[in-house]
Amino acid sequence: MKIDHATVDKLADLAKLEFDKEGKEAIVKDLNRILTFIDKLNELDTTNVEPLIYMSDEVNILREDEVKHDITQDEALKNSPKHDSDYFKMPKVIDK
Amino acid sequence: MSYSSLTQIQTDIASGKLSVKQLVEGYLGRIDQNKNLNVFLEVFAQEALQKAIEVDNKLKSGKAGKLAGMVIGLKDNLCYKDHKVSASSKILEGFTSLYSATVVERLLKEDAIIIGRCNCDEFAMGSSNENSAFGNVLNPLDHTRVPGGSSGGAAAAVAADLCLATLGTDTGGSIRQPASLCGVVGLKPTYGRVSRYGAVAYASSFDQIGPITKNIEDAALIMEVMSGMDEYDSTLSTKPVPVYSKELRQDVSKIKVAYLKDCLEKDGLDPEIKKRTTEIIDKLKKAGHSVEPVEFPFLDYLVPVYYVLTTAEASSNLARYQGLNYGYRSKNATDMDSTFRKSRSEGFGKEVQRRIMLGTFVLSAGYYDAYYSKGQKVRRFLQNKTQEILNTCDFILLPATPGTAFKFGENTADPIKMYLEDIFTVQANITGMPAISLPMGKHSNGLPFGLQLIGRKFEESKMFAFSNYLLNKF
């Protein structure tokens, strides 16, 4: 697998990042270098190996589904870069 | 004034030689004198002094908790209510925690004093602390060298005696590698032993919070206070938490050790570190322990599988930073989409963006099976192989790091070179097993290095006892 500029554009779009020309050159180079490095994994035969998804050996740790309010509305808004007394403020989404 | 254990501090307090207030003043003085190390991003001076007076009063009335006299620093990715936390990232600059991490609450309840937050690699991604948005941390033992990372500030704080202990997080070696490079003790607990609630997430199936200390006893004490079930983290084990500090002197004479021949033969391992490891193997044999060489011809797969899986998890975990609800918002944004893009691109550092991009790639349609699923299978394979070794012995003994502290900039040009710093530490995170770095080596260049034990899941108690024995006798 070789990563080209088009792939980086697509990935940046998915990841909501943007790169200038120089940054893009660097990321293409770095990703290709890292991919060569991780392609090593293909040497290992993993037929019949189940993927390891959960690290815990225990099953179904459950709790009561109770409604709790750990933080207030004021607290939730406090760290927002832009807000009024009730809402987070964002640029317009639909321009009409 | 310099204290190397909580017991020592508590003895001096009990005999009237020391008050907690004096102790905190001492640390604050040292922090001030060592500002050039750039260890603390923020010092909670007034608050720590206030709390010290409270603890002094509690001690007088006999109502103090078991960590009275313990002064702790937090890696800057652990939440402490009404205090700032930034994960050393510009994207969280100015962010104030709305709640405390479970570990922080538990330590405070036992009267530990939190003195400040320690510099780290941005979002815990790095092995040298050079990825912090707030500057490099200097290794207190040699100012031209890195302290390691990502918990670089936390390890340097203990090494420079700026507090008695710190909490770090370890996703691929981020507690043990800087502990090795700074000459202190660093533990990564078993996955599922310590609540991750309130730790800024990097790769959730790898991350664990653990202590960095000057000795085993303090690590054991911190662990018995902060481990165990928490309703906010459902990945925790229901296994009871031993009173680790009371089990330190258990019989270790029958303990069996294995070492990985492949590790000692690894290119890039410093010859003096190899020599010291071999020397300890010989001494253990002489002391009557079974120490067997084992084959583990899979070292070259460890770091690659780590990067596939952790970057995938990171790309999901870090999707929450978008400039909307909290954190940095770009002034150059004009609409919703550019708010996300520009805030993230201006807010995240280079290494974080690199890992988000790689994670996005391995999770993307068409590559998911080839990379992400493959990675999960390799993870199972490596866990099985490691477990097979631990079925025949109690611990695997290996170096913590391939070398001693390196110079600033030495590994920054090539990400792979930096990633290989973690070659000996990632195995424990991939497999979920506990591991500890012990300051048992001194290089002819004057710098320390750590030796590492990997143990069976949830056998921290035995690990502490054996570590204590190693540190005292070898």
Looking at per-residue pLDDT, the higher value among A65 and B154 belongs to B154
Cβ contact, residue pair A12, B357, below 8 Å: yes
Residue A84 counted as domain residue? no
Question: Residues 23-82, chain A: which have Cβ within 8 Å of B?
Answer: 27, 30-31, 33-35, 37-38, 40-44, 46, 49-58, 61, 63, 70-71, 75-76, 78-82
Q: Which CATH number fits domain B6-246: 3.30.830.10, 3.65.10.10, 3.90.1300.10, 3.40.50.300?
A: 3.90.1300.10
Residue A47 counted as domain residue? no
Residue A37 counted as domain residue? yes
Burial class (CB in 10 A: 0-12, 13-18, 19+), B300: middle
User: B97 an active-site residue?
Assistant: no
Residue A27 vs residues A12, B129, B214, B303: alpha-carbon distances, Å = 10, 21, 40, 20
Ordered mean pLDDT values, 10 residues apiece, chain B (474 residues): 95 97 98 98 98 98 97 98 98 95 98 98 97 98 98 98 98 98 98 98 98 98 97 94 96 96 91 97 97 96 97 98 95 93 97 98 95 98 98 98 96 86 96 98 98 98 98 94
Cβ contact, residue pair B327, A55, below 8 Å: no
pLDDT of B403 = 96
Residue B417 vs residues A42, B120, B322, B409, B414: alpha-carbon distances, Å = 21, 19, 31, 12, 5
Q: How far apart are CA B1 and CA A77, in angstroms?
A: 45
Tell me the CATH number at A35.
1.10.20
Question: Residues 187-226, chain B: which have Cβ within 8 Å of A?
Answer: 191-192, 205
Which residues, in sequence order, are bridge partners of residue B74?
Answer: B117, B167
Residue A91 counted as domain residue? no
Structural domain of A14: 5-42
Cβ contact, residue pair A46, B378, below 8 Å: yes
Residue A50 counted as domain residue? no
pLDDT of B62 = 94
Query: Is this structure's pTM higher than 0.80?
Result: yes
How many domains does one find in chain A?
1
Q: Which amino acid is at B81?
A: K
Which one is catalytic: B5, B51, B75, B315?
B75
pLDDT of A96 = 65
Nearest-by-CA chain B residue for A57: B237
B212, B216, B220, B221: CA torsion to nearest 10: -80
pLDDT of B420 = 87
| pLDDT, average across residues A63-82 | 91
Residue A82 counted as domain residue? no
pLDDT mean across residues, chain A: 92
Collapse the DSSP code of B335 into the 3-class scheme (helix H, G, I; strand E, B; otherwise coil) and give the result: coil
Contact between residue A5 and residue B331 where contact means Cβ atoms under 8 Å apart: no
Question: What are the extents of the domains in chain B?
Answer: 6-246
